[in-house]
A and B are shown apart, each in its own frame.
Chain A
Amino acid sequence: MKGLNITLPGLVAIVLLAVIPLLPVPPFIITLMDNVGLASLVAIGLVLLTGVGGLTSFGQAAFCGFGAYTTALLTTSYGLSPWLTLPVSLAVGALIALPLGLITMRLSGHYLPLGTIAWGIAIYYLFGQLDFLGRYDGITGIPPLQIAGYRFLDTTSMYYVIWAFVLIFAFGARNLLDSRVGRGIRALRGGSAAAEAFGVNTARAKLTVFIFAAIAASLSGWLYAHLQRTVNPTPFGLNMGIEYLLMAVLGGAGHIWGAIFGAGIVLALKELLQRYLPWLVGHSGNFEAVFFGILLVMMLQFARDGLWSFVLRLLPASAPKPKAQPGTESLPKRDMPAPGTPLVTLEKARKQFGGLVAVNDVSFEIGAGEIIGLIGPNGAGKSTTFDLITGVTSLSTGQIRISGRPAGVHRPGDVARQGIARTFQHAKIFPDMTALENAALGAHLRGSAGVLRSFLHLERGEEAKLLAEADRQLERVGLSEVRDRPAGDLPLGQLRILEIARALALDPNLVLLDEPAAGLRHGEKQQLAELLRKLRSEGVAILLVEHDMSFVMELVDRLVVLDFGTVIARGDPHQVRNDPAVIAAYLGGVA
């Protein structure tokens, strides 16, 4: 299994896991480990959802319930084999997650968790009220799992089943993150603007992780039902949902292995606390809640990356991604339109915010293979014009044509599909991803691998091509040296260049650059100008917003000057620079 890429400590851990039941350990340890495995599945889902995707749910226990009740009902009332109910249980979890996700995913971050609290409670009561689910008594007499006549009756035999599933899910989740789809998911945390500009459907990426987490929880529930062979509403209430989240936070919400670690710590602590706290306090009760509550708050205050990040420091660093083999096929390139073909045409484009006219009936055209400068004082409407072209905001009136066709209500992703790439005035780079991964996000639309292929790492051929493309663009802009460094470590100037590499990875015919030279030193500006000229010679058109006049003047073919949202001058640089209206706008009218 070359794709698994297991390190030595990982191998040791897996071997240890396999031999634990063979050692003379007390039986309660095996029971505890079974529960840790079950909880790990839920926590892995939460790591993807919370730690990676920046969303969260307190209602994962309810999904466990759906998985558990589905198999309980089907095996007891309809006599189905447990293995047959496995896909049904997972499908039920996914099918319930789908509408819930669709409803809440479009809303800002906190509505999803609030919604999950509400339905976490509602579903708990529902389980307890439905006759066919046995009300609060639940369903008993669930058959054990069987393979070729062997019945998985005791905790030790189930131990192997549970942990086999945990490992499959953990490696699958890791594969998923290390893929085209995974880059889209990881980009969710950094705000959606940059990801959407390169065609990542962020709403779909959110839904994907939500359903993934629901399936992981349903699987846990299915296993639980066949381990306990009885189900009732208690373990599927909100308190368990909160406990799962605690596991994910404690382990380290960004790490797959941290989920298992966190589940282990929480359940071991719970065991200890339930054993000794009542003795300390003098009467019994759910006192560990106090401890867990305080622990959760302290973790967020003092170790928000979770405990796994401390473990990671003790482990050897993971190897950087290998460079592409020389023979790697490159991605197909788009046909460049003939020089001068209109790529984007603004016709009386207008944007009003309340009473403020930010862009006032602006018309201009960008043709293939030309560099156009869009200049004007701060607040003149340049950024809004950019947003109108890229579909970030919608027009009040007027029209924008892309490649001759009216764009209508277009989304950033549609613009990217047309071969239009952009950079941002405030570099929107994903700090936790390496420079290489950031650049590869630009090539998102040039790949097609979906969740399942990524989960199983069956998309390695395509992935290699995407990474090779990212490598090529990094080299082109001169950032090969930093390819494996987290982008958050790079100075501002390099981040701006990295944004350009990411834009180029889209294989664009038009690049929109928002102040690319700001923060660059003189020499770096020269190199940037060189690169832009080279792009033009390859047929790429460029729309440049920039304040450094000498940089703009020596580069552009044509200039458009905005002031108060209105075009006050246009033409070749020489002509514009001597235009009295331009001089007045730039130099202020104090005199």
Chain B
Amino acid sequence: MDSTILAFLIQDGVTSGAIYALLGLSLVLVFAVTRVIFIPQGEFVAYGALTLAVLDVGRIPGTLPLLMGLGIAAFVFDLASFRQSFRPQHLITSALVNLVLPAIVYGLVVTVLPMQPGPIVRALLAILIIAPMGLYIYRVAFRPLANASVLVLLITSVGVHLAMMGLGLFAFGAEGLRAQPLMRGSFSLGFLPIPAQSLWIYGATIAAMVGLYIFFERTILGKALRATAVNRLGARLVGVRTNLTGGTAFVLASTIGAISGVLIAPITTIYYDTGFLIGLKGFVAAIIGGLSSFPVTAVAAIGVGLVEAFASFFASNFKEIIVFSLLIPVLIWRSLTTDPHEDE
């Protein structure tokens, strides 16, 4: 193997690794705050990518009516919960968040789209369509189960994955789509050409990490999320609502998912079910990070990307098998270092 191929594989691995890192971080975040192992994270990636690809050709993506539908479902769940305790301002807030917000997004998209906006505006629209979905999905699927065990939440998560993947098929059909790059051309780093799109990916990953760091270290809401992860009861006792932290975590996850989708849409063809596999690779990284450590998860994600890049060069047929088998040594290592009695 010559050094060009090596450099190319490394560049390729780091690029996908950066995406996995974004996903791994949101998985750790969602798990720490809500104890939900969020299998459908990858679906947000597919939704984001496919939405952008459809916007590129000037059509209304199926995710837009889906957003409205999810908002209505969340509103109905809110209405049902008002039977327990009702206050008028809760009804107003619920209507604003669940009905008015998607309507505004809808209005924005149908207004802006005919003006043939540039790629960055289209990408922002795609993110805007997908991001609120995290909140509605949390409201409908997970909030009613806030006190359930991790296992029940995980099975729920798989149910949500099934539904979202099916809805993706419904919204986009079975054919794969590819979006236009945010920026064309490439830069060269010595002998290695780096596509401009990859720079966007690195930039977004670094920005997301810095953003999350500032959010968790400097804002009271970010601290409340950390506090919820450390001590759920303690957080409730200082007045932190689990609904607030849970909803925030899910919106962060769907936003990061949508950003990842928008970033990879131009470099690979995305199908309605591609997101699942991408999300699971983020999971491999998150599990290496023990579902708790952000830095370990980020580093592991780059590792997963590199393993995948090299595997697809040397044994392309066995790429997925190799990547997912990575989990076995990780689980062995964890099982040898975990005291089963402190693990319950």
Contact = CB atoms under 8 A, between A and B. Distances in A.
Contacts of B150: 108-110
Interface string A524-539: 0000000000000000
A472 B56 CA distance: 78
Contact of B162 (A50, A281, A293, A301): A293
B46 interface: no
A76 interface: no
A442 to B, nearest CB: 21
Closest 10 CB pairs of A and B: A293-B163, A293-B162, A296-B159, A290-B166, A289-B166, A122-B324, A297-B159, A108-B343, A118-B324, A118-B327
B280 A117 contact: yes
Prevailing SS type, chain A contact patch: helix
A119 B159 contact: no
Contact of B151 (A109, A285, A289, A295): A109
Interface stretch (B3-11, B93-101, B179-187, B315-323): B315-323
Contacts of B341: 192, 392-393
Contacts of B154: 56, 110, 113-114
A192 B343 CA distance: 11
Nearest to B35: A110
Contacts of A113: 151, 154-155
Interface string A288-331: 11111111110011001000000000000000000000000000
A152 interface: no
Interface string A465-509: 000000000000000000000000000000000000000000000
B340 interface: yes
A106 B173 contact: no
Nearest to A126: B321
Given A56-B151, A106-B338, A110-B150, A300 B325 contact: no
Interface string A270-293: 000000000001010111111111
A129 B335 contact: no
A222 interface: no
Nearest to A115: B331
Given A56-B155, A125-B321, A296-B159, A290 B170 contact: yes
B152 interface: yes
A340 interface: no
A359 B229 CA distance: 30
A103 interface: yes
A107 interface: yes
A286 B168 CA distance: 11
A118 B279 CA distance: 11
Interface of A: 50, 54-56, 58, 103-111, 113-115, 117-119, 121-122, 125-126, 129, 191-192, 203, 242, 245-246, 249, 281, 283, 285-297, 300-301, 304, 392-393
B159 A294 contact: yes
A50 B158 CA distance: 15
Nearest to B162: A293
B156 A296 contact: yes
B117 interface: no
Given A115-B328, A118-B280, 7 more contacts: A108-B344, A117-B39, A118-B324, A292-B162, A293-B162, A297-B140, A300-B159
Contact of A122 (B161, B287, B325): B325
Contacts of A290: 162-163, 166-167, 170
Nearest to A245: B155
B280 A54 contact: no
Contacts of A287: 166, 169-170
Interface stretch (B108-116, B141-149, B251-259, B261-269): B141-149
B331 A129 contact: no
A119 B287 contact: no
B28 interface: no
Q: Which of A50, A105, A294, A392 has the largest count of B CB atoms less than 10 A from its CB?
A: A294
B148 to A, nearest CB: 7
Interface string B273-292: 00001001001100100000
Contacts, number: 149
B230 to A, nearest CB: 16
Nearest to A108: B343
A452 B159 CA distance: 35
A113 B155 CA distance: 9
A203 B163 contact: no
A392 B324 CA distance: 35
B283 to A, nearest CB: 7
Contact of B152 (A117, A121, A304): A304
Given A111-B287, A293-B166, A103 B145 contact: no
B152 A300 contact: yes
B327 A119 contact: yes
A297 B153 CA distance: 9
A184 to B, nearest CB: 16
A353 B235 CA distance: 24
B156 A114 contact: no
A350 B338 CA distance: 23
Contacts of B159: 246, 292-297, 300
Nearest to A113: B154
20 contacts: A106-B343, A107-B338, A111-B287, A113-B155, A117-B280, A117-B283, A118-B283, A129-B318, A192-B341, A203-B340, A242-B158, A246-B159, A289-B163, A291-B166, A293-B161, A294-B159, A296-B158, A297-B160, A300-B145, A300-B159
A237 to B, nearest CB: 11
Contacts of A192: 340-341, 344
Contacts of B158: 58, 242, 245, 296
Most buried by A among B156, B159, B338, B343: B159
B112 to A, nearest CB: 29
Interface string B331-342: 110110010110
B37 interface: yes
B170 A281 contact: yes
A109 B37 CA distance: 12
B14 interface: no
Contacts of A286: 166, 169
A104 B335 contact: yes
B124 interface: no
A294 B159 CA distance: 6
Contacts of A122: 320-321, 324-325
Contacts of B161: 293
A103 B331 contact: yes
Contacts of B125: none
Interface string B286-300: 010000000000000
A55 B150 CA distance: 11
B50 interface: no
Given A203-B340, A300-B159, A110 B335 contact: no
A119 B332 CA distance: 14
B192 interface: no
B165 interface: yes
Interface in B11-27: none
Nearest to A120: B324
A110 B169 contact: no
A122 B326 CA distance: 10
B71 to A, nearest CB: 16
Contact of B320 (A108, A121, A285, A300): A121
Contacts of A118: 280, 283-284, 324-325, 327
B208 to A, nearest CB: 24
A107 B162 CA distance: 26
Contacts of B344: 108, 191-192
A192 B335 CA distance: 17
A105 B161 CA distance: 25
A111 B330 CA distance: 11
A413 B280 CA distance: 38
Contacts of B141: 297
Contact of A285 (B160, B174, B338): B174
A296 B163 CA distance: 9
B52 interface: no
B42 to A, nearest CB: 12
B135 interface: no
